[in-house]
Amino acid sequence: MENKFAELRKRYEEVSALGSARAVLAWDQRVTMPPGGAPARARSMSALARTVHSKATAPEIGRLIGETWDWAQAKGPDSFEAAYLRVLKRDYDHATKLPSEFVGEMSAAASAAMAAWESAKKNSDFPSFAPHLEKMVDINRRQAEYLAPGEPHYDTLLDLYEPGMRRAELEPLLTELSEGMKPVLRAIAERRAAVSNEILKGDFEEGAQLALADEIVKALGFDFSKGRQDRSVHPFTTGFSLSDVRITTWTMRGWLPASIYASMHECGHALYGMGAPAEFELTPLAGGAGLGVHESQSRFWENFVGRSRPFCEWLLPGLRRHFPGKFDRVSPEQFYLAVNKSEPSFIRVEADEATYDMHIALRFRLETALLDGALKVKDLPGAWNAGMNELFGITPKNDAEGVLQDVHWSQGTIGYFPTYSLGNLMAAQLDEAMRADIKDMDGLIARGEFAPPLAWLRERVHRHGARYFPADLLRKAIGKERETAPFLRYIKTKYSAIYKF
């Protein structure tokens, strides 16, 4: 069986390598490709997607999975071989249910939709993007039907991003989270003027922002010999291998936190991507356990570290160095309060911790309605604006700061948004457990010593790669089930101190 397992690994390595090549094309499309290259890039990515799918679904792979399955499981469920077969079989079963022509169509449509979205966002022109979104919604329905005929479409799509999760489990968590946040948001609203973030507004040279962003992620542990940071229309992370992980950020000349926290967020994803064992390279175990787990890593570094008092103390000298004269009279406490001011905002990625999950609640509501057919794409801007008014009391001035702000639907990733809230919940659970183990956590952060928390995450989360489903990984990491209580405790403690309620 050792020889057959070696043959299976060799076949999968080719699939993985071709997948990485496709990821390079996708990264280039979003970072450096000229707009005119979109049609040709769509053709190239579609052709490569069909090639990858053909090799990934080869009958020989299915045969080898069947022949080595019992042998691998006999080594124990936690063994490399058993985990390898378990994850590969899930991927193979999914892939073989999707016709090659459909995979090519899906790739081409997503590539065209991405280009259309970038143009539409730039010009605040939803009607030009609407036909592409209609196609992506239709493709997602068809994909769900291929994968699980007769099953609820949203359950099937959600499972692609958060393995094992179902809508029936998700909705009570999101409801409990929203209900738990309502009294906090009401208390903040009554005292909103007590905190100012004016020191974060002004004219911040973009080159200095990017230089600072590089310094921050390097300090957190991002290895620039195995990765790079660039600019894109919407920040994202992609990995081609364990030793080549790319992140992007953005800059807003008049709003400094945009680049800082986008970089920290994407760095969290990258640290997870770089943290799997070397033996996972070119295997199905090299990815993360699920996107909720991935988001727990990004939200941990962005918020639980990045918006903490000790991190603000550490960062302030860097701000003074990169932006001379702007922060000379600002204290760490003033900076801490400014980056944690809570107020209704149009842009999800710029939302504070207290309001962020309401953005996810809106998107969850809208994408389930789109998928179920209760909402037409042409009516989406109106539904979006009505939802923003209901949840936040504000209405976007245009579609660029409203329905067009997020990239995900243009990529066809319906079912993805809830993983952000799941990530927040898991981040809070990990933070509580980490602080129980690392007694001087705040002192380490204030001194810029980020290696101990990263090492803790490497041991509890990163080293397992995709070996376990998210719920199983959380139990193994801290012995707990998913719950909202730690996150609600964290938010209530933090914001009651900031706003004194």
Q: Rounded to the nearest 5 degrees, what angle is found at the Cα of 80, between the Cα atoms of 78 and 84?
A: 105
Q: Which two tokens stand for residue 298?
A: 């990004």
Q: Rounded to the nearest 5 degrees, what angle is found at the Cα of 273, between the Cα atoms of 309 and 456?
A: 50
| Cα separation, 19 vs 239, whole angstroms | 10
CB atoms within 10 A of CB 438: 15
Long-range contacts, stretch 115-119, CB < 8 angstroms, 24+ apart: 115/29, 115/35, 115/38, 115/42, 116/410, 117/404, 117/407, 117/410, 118/35, 118/233, 119/35
Q: Which of 81, 266, 313, 353 is catalytic?
A: 266
**Whole-Å CA distances, 64 to 7, 82, 92, 468:** 8, 13, 11, 22
- In the sheet that holds 237-241, the strands lie side by side as 227-231, 244-249, 237-241
- Total residue count of the chain as it appears in this document: 501
Which secondary structure element, helix H or strand E, spans residue 245, and what is its range? strand 244-249
67 is catalytic: no
φ/ψ of residue 328, rounded to 5: -60, -35
Q: Is 334 helix (H, G, I), strand (E, B) or coil?
A: helix
CA 501 to chain centre: 32
φ/ψ of residue 248, rounded to 5: -130, 160
Please, are residues 215 and 318 in contact by the beta-carbon 8 Å criterion?
A: yes
| Cα separation, 451 vs 456, whole angstroms | 9
Residues identified as active-site: 266
